[in-house]
Every structure is written in C-alpha cells, then in structure tokens.
Amino acid sequence: MWKKLGLIFEPGKAPWMHSHAQNPFPEALGGGKYRVHFASRDAQNRARGGFFVFSPDDPTIIQEVSTDPTLDLGPLGAFDDCGVMPSTIVNWRGQRLLYYTGWSKAVEVPFSFHIGLAISERERAAFTRASLAPVLGRNHFDPYITGAPCVLVENDTLRMWYISGTQWIRETPSSKPKHYYTVKYAESSDAVSWKCSEHLCIPYEGDDYAIARPIVCKTDSGYSMWFTYRGGENTYRVGEASSKDGINWTRQQKPLAIDVSESGWDSEMICYAHPLFHGGRRYALYNGNNYGATGIGLAVWEE
C-alpha cells in the first residue's frame, strides 16, 4: 500500500514562483540526491520551470531551490509566451534534452499548448531553446493541442508518449469550450522531427474527457504507465496501464492507490504523479488540490 509522507515542497519563494509546483519529475544527481523539476506560476498565472534538490532518505530537508527559472517564457507571439512546463529530460548524444509544454492564449477556446525542446550541453548549464517553434505542434494527426511529453531513449530512437487533443466542444451555445485529450505515441531519430499516428494509447472510457501527463517506465515484461484522468464532475485521479510494446496498452480499472485525504492540501484531487526509485524502494511524487497549487507531496510503497 502507499504511505503518504506529506507535503515536501511548497511554492512562494520568488515572484515567478507565486503558486503551484506542478508536474514534478526527478533527475538523479548521485549520492542519493535528486533534482525535482516542476512548473511554477507567477501572479498572472504564467508558468515557468524550476527545481528543488532533496533526498528521499530525509524528505523534510530541501537542500537547494532554483533562484531563477530553468526555462522562462517565450517571446511575445510564440507558442510558449504565456507559460512553459518542463516535462522530461533525456541524455542524447552528449546533450541534455528538456521537452516541455508551451502555453499561449487563444480566442474561441481558452488556451493552446504544444511541445517544445530546450537543450543543455552540460549538467548545470542553462537550457536554450532548439527553436522558437514547437517540435511537435499541430499536424495531420494532432490538429488541436499537444503536450506533457514523456520521452525514453531506446536503440538510438527517441520514443515519446504525449497528450493530444481530439476535440473541443460546447455543451450548450453559451457554455465554455470543453477540451478532450488523451495519450498518443510518436518516434524520432533526430530529437526534432516526430513520426505520429492516429492511434490512441489510452482510449476514453465512460465520461472521460481529460487523460493527461503520461509517465512511462520500462519493466521486465514491457512498459508501465501512470497517467492523470478525470471525467464528468470528478476531480483528477492517477491511473495505471501496462503494455508489451509501448504502443498498445491495457488500462487497469482501479486508480493508483494514493487516494485523497480527509482534509488538507490533497483532499480534493491526486494528480501528475511520477515514480521515483531509490534505495530499493518505490516512491511517488505527486500534486494535490488545484493542479499542484499547494506544492508537491511524497508517498512510499510499503508491502
């Protein structure tokens, strides 16, 4: 079962870190330490990348917090001028590749987002955008939105799981547009050009309309995925799926067994969970209420 260890990081340490520490993911530093990347928001609700350093051996001690954004807003008019949310880092041909979601405002629908790439040549160097354009934006198979990429390197091929919008709808003439998106798959041999398809890794079930933030790990039998989902009036929960090839997935019917608390920062939703394997144990970094507005929690699996 999962044992909650509590809220380990809260935002509010800089003007660009006014609220939220959303979409956490760990980067191993050695010596039992991890740099946890996340997206924080300023007072205008614009996201930027940040990090903190900690060890699961004593999660109550935060050893370092970024004073400046790891990735700032894009220039006016670019696809990421209203927000950047780091999603995954991979080492590729001597470079650190940071794939992220870039946000912009829209007119008929409230927002648009697509997948960008930033590159660092060494461990602590700043990330520089590979292009002012997204590396996976609108295309024949993804006509609406793309985001939340998770990337693995296998046999000199980059494999990406990401969310893709399948439609926007108005349920009544006066209602706000409602987004529908779920998980899809793409491949690349150069880190920039991606081969996509119409295949849905996680088809909608019941009243699902938002299936988000896939995190894929290699296992002895294939692949496992954590994803965040909601439907109807329900708030987010974290689901699980398994696959032999990383393309065709079997969804488990029960959510990941980290449930909401009776009160407090994660009493309304559990979302954007990411596994962390340390010292022979499995941990989960995750967000709670209001999409991570209150910070990042940690749980550990106990037999």
At which residue do the structure tokens 């590159």 appear?
Answer: 119
| Cβ contact 7:70 at 8 Å | no
The pLDDT assigned to 126 comes to 82
Sequence letter at residue 255:
P
The pLDDT assigned to 232 comes to 80
Residues 6+ apart with CB under 8 A from 15: 42, 43
57: left (phi over 0), alpha (psi -120 to 50) or beta: alpha
The pLDDT assigned to 85 comes to 98
Compute the mean pLDDT over every residue in the chain, rounded to the nearest whole number. Answer: 96
In this structure, what CATH number is given to the domain that contains residue 183? Answer: 2.115.10.20
pLDDT at 124 over 80: no
Domain enclosing residue 67, as ranges: 2-301
pLDDT at 22 over 80: yes
At which residue do the structure tokens 């051996």 appear?
Answer: 57
Q: Count the domains in the chain.
A: 1
The pLDDT assigned to 303 comes to 80
193-249, pLDDT tens digit by residue?
999 999 999 999 999 999 999 999 999 999 999 999 998 878 999 999 999 999 999
Strand partners, 26: 36
pLDDT at 125 over 90: no
254-288, pLDDT tens digit by residue?
999 999 999 999 999 999 999 999 999 999 999 99
38-94, pLDDT tens digit by residue?
999 999 999 999 999 999 999 999 999 999 999 999 999 999 999 999 999 999 999
Residue 101: band (very low, low, confident or very high) from pLDDT cuts 50, 70, 90: very high
- State both tokens at 30: 């050695």
Residue 170: band (very low, low, confident or very high) from pLDDT cuts 50, 70, 90: very high
